[in-house]
Structure 1
Amino acid sequence: MRAYMMKRVLHLIPTLVGASLVIFFIFALAPGDFIDSDINLTPERALELKALYGFDKPLLERYFIWLGNALRGDFGYSLQYQQPVMKVLGEYIWNSFLIAGASLIMTWVIALLAGVISAVKMYTWYDSLVTFGVFALMSFPSFFLGLLMVKFFAVDLGWLPIGGMLNTGSEATGWAYAWEVLNHMLLPATVMTLLSVGSLTRHFRTNMIDVIKQDFVRTARAKGLKERVVVFKHALRNALLPAITLLGLELPGLFSGAIITEKVFTWPGVGYIHMEAITNRDYTLLMGFTMFLAIITVLGNLLADWLYATADPRIRMK
């Protein structure tokens, strides 16, 4: 097991190098940049700034400079925010982690319970209701669902704030600060959960249907075990194995899916500044954020491999 994990870690190196190559050249070859979008700059001043930030160098040389700096934790300088990229991401990344983590937990808990019960009560009214609900949620665009919930819960009912992370002019600290953040994150976290719970619920339902038809489940029932023990102790553990592989895609998917959601709710996270960076052609910041998603993706896949082997002791990694 340890040798396998070390091998997987070593495989991450060429994967990340290849991802950095693709990411850099996609943004480097994009027409224009932050300097070109500033109409107040004279041509001479624009050329001076490009020389200052190294935009006048050949692409291959720029890539190796960027890669060397990235290996030291320096992803460049954001011209839009006039700060290093890592500092900008550090200011906003934890806000995104907050709603992404809450959404991930709620999604897996709801999908697990709904999918398992739907499989056990297959073809009943409950199964039909869950199937209809998850397909309905999967059909909603994120911006439409977000605006719909803002209008209903924030504008019409006034139960929750419209957007942002804190009340305007708030100076709350301690528990009052935590309560304000919780109220503001409830709507965006709920929207992200509703958008992602559908496919995962169907996945759990399909896996459970396959497992509960197997011989070891029938044997457990024949031994007189309670149905709850048969379902949640014996069947569920085997049904979780295919779902674990989805975890590697769930982590980056939460951040990429939060881009529109954070924009709708003006939540100050990396998704929100990502949209601002696209508008202002701040390609250095975009490269840093996209590379962050690539790192999260490979780490998520590594975590999924480890969890898969941990959940099923029959697996022997070599």
Structure 2
Amino acid sequence: MPKYLARRLVYGAVLMLCVIVLNFFLIHAAPGDAIGALVAESGGGDPAVVAQMRASYGLDQPLYVQLYKYLGRVATGDFGRSFHYDAPVLGVIMERLPSTLLLTISALFVAVIVGTALGVIAALRPRGWRNYFVTLISLLGYATPVFWLGMIVLIVFADKFGLFPAYGLTSVPPPETAWALAVDVLHHLALPVFTLSILFLASYSRISRASTLDVLGSDYIRTARAKGLLESVVVLKHALRNAALPIVTLAGLQLGHAFSGAVLVEVVFSLPGIGPLLYDSIIRHDYPVMLGVLFGAAFTVVIANIITDLVYRILDPRIRLR
């Protein structure tokens, strides 16, 4: 296990290096200029001042020199300074990160639990009405764009009926007690979590249905039923553990997808997370912030895949033997 983990970490480091280099060149190849955006916000500027600003940020140097210096800073944990906020990129991102993590983890948790339960229910009666209902929900989830669903949910439940807040993570001013603050945050997160979880619930329900159907036809399941075990014991104790392997894989692979979906949901619901930060950074050509956010997303995917492999080995000992 230690050798396997060390090998995966080395592969992950090489992959992160490739991601950084590719993102760096793609962002700098895009039309527009960071200093030009800053000057445009201030209503114009003297060419000498603009040239001085380019020199102070190192943008007057060749691109390969900028990349070399950027890689050296990243190796020490320094992602540069934001052009717009004039603050360390890491601090700007860490300030917005809790909101995005709360939304992403909550939505994935709801999607995994509800989607797996729906898939198992559909697999137990593959020709019943519950199976067709789950299939319909899955197709709708696949076909619905997350930003469109967010706007519809916002209009119906926040604007028309006023059941949930339309924007933000807390009320203004926020509640004073910890319990009231937690309830207020959950109230604000209800619509964003629902919107983002629908996107992944469809995948988990289909995967869990197919996996459960496959496991329920195995010999050891028939043996367990022949012993007279309760159906709930057969499904929950014997079938679900093996059926969960594809779900674990999907959860690890979809973490990056969940991050991109969270970006759109945060913009729709005006949450103070990474989404609006990335959107504003793209508009303002704030290269360091864009590179920092993309680095964080890639790092999250790499770590999630390593953790997924380790969980796989825990769930299925045969993987360890091979």
Unaligned runs of 5+ in 1: none
Q: In the alignment, which residue of structure 2 is the partner of 1:5? A: 5
Q: How far apart, in 2, do the equivalents of 1:151 and 1:304 lie?
A: 38
Given candidates 286, 292, 312, the residue that maps to 2:296 is 292
1:116-265 equivalences in 2 (<5 Å): 116-170=120-174, 172-265=176-269
Q: In the alignment, which residue of structure 2 is the partner of 1:27? A: 27
Unaligned runs of 5+ in 2: none
Amino acid at match of 1:81: Y
CA contact (8 A) 1:100 1:255 kept: yes
Q: How far apart, in 2, do the equivalents of 1:183 and 1:41 lie?
A: 46
Amino acid at match of 2:88: P
What is the CA-CA distance between 1:102 and the residue it aligns to? 0.8
CA contact (8 A) 1:33 1:283 kept: no
Q: How far apart, in 1, do the equivalents of 2:71 and 2:137 lie?
A: 46
Q: How far apart, in 2, do the equivalents of 1:71 and 1:203 lie?
A: 39
Given candidates 277, 280, 287, the residue that maps to 2:284 is 280
Task: Identify which range, 246-255 or 263-272, moves more after superposition.
Answer: 246-255
Alignment partner of 1:16 is 2:16: yes
What is the CA-CA distance between 1:291 and the residue it aligns to? 0.6
Amino acid at match of 2:79: F
CA contact (8 A) 1:247 1:301 kept: no
- Please state whether the residue corresponding to 1:35 is helix, strand or coil: helix
Q: TM-score, normalised by structure 2?
A: 0.95
Alignment partner of 1:73 is 2:67: no
Give the helix-richer structure, 1 or 2.
Answer: 2
Q: How far apart, in 2, do the equivalents of 1:51 and 1:169 lie?
A: 43
Q: In the alignment, which residue of structure 2 is the partner of 1:96? A: 100
Shift in alpha-carbon separation, 1:117–1:22, aligned structure 2, 3 A:
same
Q: How far apart, in 2, do the equivalents of 1:178 and 1:43 lie?
A: 51
What is the CA-CA distance between 1:242 and the residue it aligns to? 2.0
Alignment partner of 1:36 is 2:40: no
Task: Identify which range, 288-297 or 228-237, moves more after superposition.
Answer: 228-237
Q: How far apart, in 2, do the equivalents of 1:59 and 1:177 lie?
A: 47
Given candidates 284, 288, 301, the residue that maps to 2:305 is 301
CA contact (8 A) 1:112 1:204 kept: yes
- Please state whether the residue corresponding to 1:107 is helix, strand or coil: helix
What is the CA-CA distance between 1:84 and the residue it aligns to? 1.1
Q: TM-score, normalised by structure 1?
A: 0.96
What are the Cα deviations for residues 65-85 of structure 1, in whole angstroms up to 9, with x where unaligned? Answer: 111111111111111222111
Q: How far apart, in 2, do the equivalents of 1:134 and 1:147 lie?
A: 20
Q: How far apart, in 1, do the equivalents of 2:321 and 2:99 lie?
A: 37
Amino acid at match of 1:153: F
Task: Identify which range, 37-46 or 187-196, moves more after superposition.
Answer: 37-46
Q: How far apart, in 2, do the equivalents of 1:248 and 1:298 lie?
A: 9
Q: How far apart, in 1, do the equivalents of 2:251 and 2:137 lie?
A: 23
Q: In the alignment, which residue of structure 1 is the partner of 2:113? A: 109
Q: How far apart, in 1, do the equivalents of 2:19 and 2:51 lie?
A: 30
Amino acid at match of 1:271: G
Q: How far apart, in 1, do the equivalents of 2:80 and 2:169 lie?
A: 28
What is the CA-CA distance between 1:99 and the residue it aligns to? 0.9
Q: How far apart, in 1, do the equivalents of 2:204 and 2:274 lie?
A: 25
CA contact (8 A) 2:175 2:184 kept: no
- Aligned-pair identity in percent equals 36
- Please state whether the residue corresponding to 2:168 is helix, strand or coil: coil
Alignment coverage as a number of residue pairs: 318
